[in-house]
A = this chain, B = another copy of it.
Amino acid sequence: MYRSHNCGELNASHNNTEVTLAGWVQKSRDKGFMNWVDLRDRYGITQLIFDESRTDKTVFELAKTLGREFVIQVKGTVIEREAKNKNIPTGDIEILVSELTILNAALTPPFTIEDETDGGEDIRMKYRYLDIRRNPVKNSLLFRHKVAMEVRKYLSDLDFCEVETPYLIKSTPEGARDFVVPSRMNEGQFYALPQSPQTFKQLLMVGGMDKYFQIVKCFRDEDLRADRQPEFTQIDCEMAFVEQEDILNIFEGLTRHLLSTIKGIEVEKFPRITYDYAMKTYGNDKPDIRFDMKFGELNEVAQHKEFPVFNAAELVVGIAAPGCATYTRKEIDNLIDWVKRPQVGASGMVYAKYELDGSIKSSVDKFYDQEDLKKWAEITGAKPGDLILVLSGPANKTRAQLSALRMELATRLGLRNPEVFAPLWVVDFPLLEQDEENGRWHAMHHPFTSPKPEDMALLETDPGKVRANAYDMVLNGNEIGGGSIRIHDKATQQLMFKYLGFTEEEAKAQFGFLMDAFQFGAPPHGGLAFGLDRLVAILGGQETIRDFIAFPKNNSGRDVMIDAPSLIDEKQLEELHIKLRS
């Protein structure tokens, strides 16, 4: 036993107790005749005191040699501290040290082990094991564990069974790029790492497991955008004999349970909106509803007047920025410049200030009178004191631009408080989306998603109009989970593959096992998957997921700490029946 207590648990109730502690030197203050050391471990910090008049001389001298991050063990007595520190649980006491052992010395770390460190991203990743000693990272990992445990408890209590599905599976051309694994025993053949356990969880439903979940790593070999990882973790779930309503209820319950147990926050029943409503109202299928600023479509009231820009536009759409009627010309110009940036891409913006006296002053007063502008206010929900901002152009693009503006305004207005949680469901997603380049139809969710029965007939005539039994859970502007009711009969699945451009042979070669399975008594089933990395980051009130992943990869997919990937031996390549291209 290296310690009798950890560094976070001693307090005044332990006064005069003999204790043994072990940990890292956070810092030391040498006052000549007195030397204080902050000893740190995962659980907290305890102050040690070495006093020339009370401490053995050898121990006292040894303490002066301690550097930051040295690993030490001390024996001593808990005593009341003179200058109490009310900010930490151990702040009432200190340890008068009688024995000191240096368990391991430490080089000066390349960055400070403090909440606010001087280390940049790159150096912290290279020495991630030091970064993990910092509270923000350490607490994120502990938080992640707590969330995962609560998920498991909640689902287990509801009879969900966690089943491990295989990691060495089959490569399919559908969807994102697979990571593949050459097989030594099966020459010229490859396994793939799963992008998700989708087909396996469906087979578990065919197998009668009834309620499945798994917290599981998934893999996608995509070019990494910021805050994407080649390996990521899903809470993967599936249920048999359910309709969409059952799934929404169960997993709304899970999220409510997490908010309640982890954050102490009780939320109302989640709003449910359709995909179409979300796109029209927020320009976005994952709207942040912590704030309002709903879109108001102004075509009827703003077109057929003298303003040529609006008349030529497919869509004229505005939002009311609350309390922004006081914006100066400079502030408004700044917003106009913001929407004109290439990342947003608007060609201009019209504004109208709804003054507190009830009058409206717009940038297009030449074309619209007060009566016109009052209608704008009505439709955008603007109140006196608000600023109406209007974009126009092709419908989809303009909605996306206004959505970006809406988020930017919310940020500027401080409406995106990470400790406020506004979850909702978006339902009735389109089954298919069309590739703009080649006109081919793709599954918006995945090829196993069931069309709504009442829309089946549209598959032949107007495939873009077919709605799916698919749903996303959205939290604070992020899609945190998504799923669908699945196809569970062979004929429909075959039809789906046909519409997605698979030949019969391709469908059979890739997914024959699933369609075979559907012939042996497949129950109706459906499910969803949460992105755990994102979920814990949002619950933790953070924007980025990296601190919630112990050993993340950088944007080139590299682990800079262990320096992977790396070259391998020619002998290994030979055994795997492959060679490098020159």
Contact = CB atoms under 8 A, between A and B. Distances in A.
Contacts of A541: none
Interface in A192-226: 192-193, 199-200, 203-204, 206-211, 217, 219, 221, 223
A489 interface: yes
Nearest to A133: B208
B210 A41 contact: yes
A365 B188 CA distance: 64
Interface stretch (A77-85, A289-297, A473-481, A548-556): A548-556
A184 interface: yes
A566 B206 CA distance: 24
B565 A574 contact: no
A231 interface: yes
Contact of A565 (B191, B221, B559, B580): B191
A179 B181 contact: yes
Contacts of A230: 168
B141 A161 contact: yes
A425 interface: no
Given A520-B106, A565-B183, A551 B170 contact: no
Given A551-B200, A576-B180, A566 B208 contact: no
B167 A550 contact: no
Interface string A557-577: 111011111111100101111
A207 B130 contact: yes
A488 B104 CA distance: 8
A17 interface: no
A562 B199 contact: yes
B208 A42 contact: yes
Interface stretch (A144-152, A379-387, A453-461, A495-503): A144-152
Contact of A181 (B149, B193, B200): B193
**Interface range on chain A: under 10, 10 to 19, 20 to 34, or 35 or more?**
35 or more
A581 interface: yes
A230 B326 CA distance: 67
Nearest to A6: B210
B171 A568 contact: yes
A1 B148 CA distance: 28
A280 interface: no
A165 B209 contact: no
A419 to B, nearest CB: 23
A209 B551 CA distance: 13
A168 B553 contact: yes
A557 B164 contact: no
Interface of A: 1-3, 6, 22, 24, 40-43, 69-71, 103-107, 109, 127-133, 138, 141-142, 144-145, 148-149, 152, 156, 161-171, 173, 177-186, 188-193, 199-200, 203-204, 206-211, 217, 219, 221, 223, 230-231, 233, 241-243, 245-246, 488-489, 513, 517-524, 549-551, 553, 556-559, 561-569, 572, 574-581
Nearest 4 A/B pairs, CB to CB = A132-B207, A106-B521, A170-B564, A2-B241
23 contacts: A2-B242, A22-B241, A24-B521, A42-B208, A69-B520, A104-B521, A104-B523, A106-B520, A129-B203, A132-B204, A138-B207, A141-B161, A144-B164, A166-B231, A168-B230, A168-B559, A168-B565, A169-B559, A170-B566, A181-B181, A183-B557, A185-B556, A578-B580
